Structure 1
């Protein structure tokens, strides 16, 4: 049997964590990643991390096989959308950010298949005047 024919070595670990969460929560916890796309993309084998400190929110996403020119990022201050296309896959993910950010402060880098976006936190929100 070739190595790539075996099951994912982490399947048993994730099943055990899911079982323990169900025991602890008293319900049916689903640890599957919810993707809003019909085809392969985030959630299949792409990893997204979100880190937060006092001043910044940092989003790190694995986009293997994607060229920098094929990445499209959008942010409205509360949600970030990452879209990318490679020869074999399409990625499309909406990420709810843990804090409101200034989307104009975004700084993005892409190196060796890893996208990193850093945004400054803000407390500002649009003022709406009632007439």
Structure 2
């Protein structure tokens, strides 16, 4: 991963992206591991303040078809080792700026940069 704010290109051949973050290896072996990618937006009622729409996996990679400029994606990696009761969790946030065939262009941002989802329009539209 590069510095926050720096624009980077993530390779996504055939719409598949290898998880771009990984927690440090632990000593003693890994008992359980969970990795994920999710489109996120702020929601005070959701767990940890972010609502998540998890991306699907295919052949060990995340399916990123359907992502659009302006989306914020949380990449996470969590493990629990045999030697410790608690594991490590790594979460990084990526703002998508541009989507091209085979690549995603964007920048790494802090969790604070993730916006609230705009509320749906209510009422009747003005003529």
TM-score normalised to structure 2 length: 0.32
Q: Which structure is higher in strand share?
A: 2
Which has the larger share of helix?
1
